[in-house]
Amino acid sequence: MRLIEKTKNKLEKIFHDHGFNDIRKPHAEGLVLQYFVRSKQFLSAAEIVENEVSQLFMPYLHLQGQSIELALKGYLLACELEPKEIHDLAKLASKAEDHGLTLKQIEASSIVLLNHYYFQDLSTKKSLNQDILLSHRKQQAAQCLAKK
C-alpha cells in the first residue's frame, strides 16, 4: 500500500473514532450561507490576484468564475432547489433567472463571456477542463509508452 493510501486510511479512522462521521445534513440556511461565504472568499482571492492579472490572467478568471458559480448555487439553494454538480455559469444563471433572479444586460454578458474562459469555449463548444484532461491523459500515455 502506498504512503498516501495509508495516510488516508489512518485519517479516516481518526475521523470515524472521534465522531467526525456525523452524516446529518446541515440546515438549508447554513448551506446557503456557506455557499455565499465561499463565494466571497473566491472573489476576495480574485481581487488579490488582480494586481498581477497580466501574469495570472487565467487564475484570475477562474477565481471569478468560482465565485459566481458558488453565488448562483447559493441562490438556487435559497430557492429550495438542489444545485446540480455543473460548472456552466450560463446554465446556472438561466436556472436562477427562472426562479426570480433579475440580471442586468451587463451582468448577463459578463457571465456569458466569463463562462467562455471558465467552462466552455463559445466557438468550439469544448470544455476547457476536457482539453486539460485530454492533454493530461496524452502525457500519461506517452510516459507509459516511454517506460516500456
Beta bridge pairs of residue 120: 127
| 69 or 131: which leads in pLDDT | 69
Which pLDDT tens digit goes with each residue over 29-76? 778 888 999 999 999 999 999 999 889 988 999 999 999 999 999 999
Phi and psi at residue 18, to the nearest 5°: -105, 20
Which pLDDT tens digit goes with each residue over 104-129? 999 999 999 999 888 876 666 666 65
Question: What single DSSP character describes residue 127?
Answer: B
Q: pTM (2 decimals)? A: 0.69
Taking CA atoms, 71 is separated from 87, 102, 132, in Å, by 12, 14, 25
**CA–CA gap between residue 64 and residue 124 (Å, rounded):** 22
Amino acid at 119: F
Q: Find, among 61, 71, 69, 31, the residue nearest to 121 by Cα.
A: 61
| Helix orientation angle between 28-49 and 57-78, rounded to the nearest 10 degrees | 160
Q: Find, among 122, 134, 38, the residue nearest to 77 by Cα.
A: 38
Domain 3-147 in CATH 1.20.120: yes
